[in-house]
Structure 1
Amino acid sequence: MTDSFDPVAYNRAAWDREVENSNEWTQPAGPEVIARARTGDWSVVLIGYQAVPRDWFPAELVGAEVLCLASGGGQQGPVLSAAGAAVTVLDNSPRQLDRDREVATREGLAVRTVLGDMRDLSVFPDASFDVVFNPVSNVFCPDLAPVWRESFRVLRPGGILMAGFLNPDIFIFDITALEERGELIVRHQLPFSSLDLTDAERQRSYGTGPIEYSHSLAGQIGGQLAAGFTLTHLDEAPHHADATAQYMPGYFATRAVKP
């Protein structure tokens, strides 16, 4: 990669390709899911396949202003909209946002979509939202401090930030051995980025997928605290798709509040 490499532009194109390749996180919610959500029977995920506890959300979701941050794909946003929230989805991938518009058009939902970088929410005024919902996506973001600062700014007092993220220890393992043979071979130091690999290694391990970054827990949780949030809940889950699930949590989820 050159000094002029733009990770936002690269990952935008990479996620557009993931849509074309039918990545599971690009598959929009079906009519039956939306129909159930309209009756109050709904759930969404922050980490893996684990439903977020309902008490992490406001007691009254109807009318709540929710920002689904880097959460395109037609999954969480339309479900929350069908459950009664006023939903805005911001994502770096035009094709992921197409998925949200697809469901919104099909189901008659009012879902606002915005193309952008999760570190820059300047399109939104201060205190615009009651909830920021950020499923596992900051693994594709080079630096997290702006994400937490901007999330804090756009939330109203008492607003809730829900974030899902990868356990950084996942990145110490050789990804090819992990995915192809289920072997846990320690290879990388932390912090890690797939940009650290040679072009040939990156192609072998990640193909044309997005660039990933192993953010520390200090950057993930400590960063939220430094931005001014009060942490109220912490959860964990095994990675849903690799052999580390037998030994360690692959995901963490946090709920934090703006005082």
Structure 2
Amino acid sequence: MKVLSLNAHSWCESDQIAKIRDTARLIVDEGVDVVAVQEANQLQGGIPWRSERYGGPSALPVGADNYVQVLAEMCAHLGAEYRCYWAEAHQGFGKYDEGVGLLARADSVTETHPLVLADYPYTDVRRRVALAARIRGWGWVISGHFSWWEVEGQRLFEGEWGAIERFVREHPGERVCVAGDLNNPATVVGEGYSLIRERGWWDTRDLARRAEGHDTIAGKISGWEKARGGARIDYVLINQRVWVSEHRVVFTGEESPVVSDHYGVLAHVGEAEGE
């Protein structure tokens, strides 16, 4: 199974439609099976429209400009059929319904669950959600956008990750892949990345027979205004050790165009170690 994770920074990018086209082209050309999207936005109060490719489970009316819908339609234009799923998290940038989304090959998803990671008023950026989809023949893939380790003395990330682990306990023995923006650099010891590794999660970059690229942001971006350089904050993680043939950072401007203020992460994972 090929999994792509991308914080799309959607509708905050210049030349957004061209960047959606470039994103769809990589998805189709690489034969990606599941796409986990963060900052999948739609304009609040925009034109409602529900594509036949949209599978829910948002409580809000889905808009014609909903990023995952537009991306699924672009993939269809390029000849590949994907179903799209979206869950709203909070008001973003003062005017968007910001959420997380998934694209998956048609008929591969058997059920979806939105997960509230941190419950705050909708206008509070601390309200965080994830979206889980059961992929036929593999297990669960979760798209998640998490908070920083600590904000104003409050450890936000630890509680949010606890919600992921509750989901895993509710599905004993099943494979669970978390793909997304964790907002916790891999190089910082004693914070979010250390926590997930201590709790037994596997990083597909470490498992991969071939790993290309490291940083997933180049420097200062929204939310990381004090960054002094690049950082690795986007991941594909799995609760069980599996065979990973490849882990690659994409949309860097080298092999594939830049489409966001984040790079993407593409991982090719098997069903079990050695497969």
Which structure's CA Rg is the greater one?
1
- For the aligned pair, the TM-score class normalised by the smaller chain equals 0.3 to 0.5
More strand by share: 2
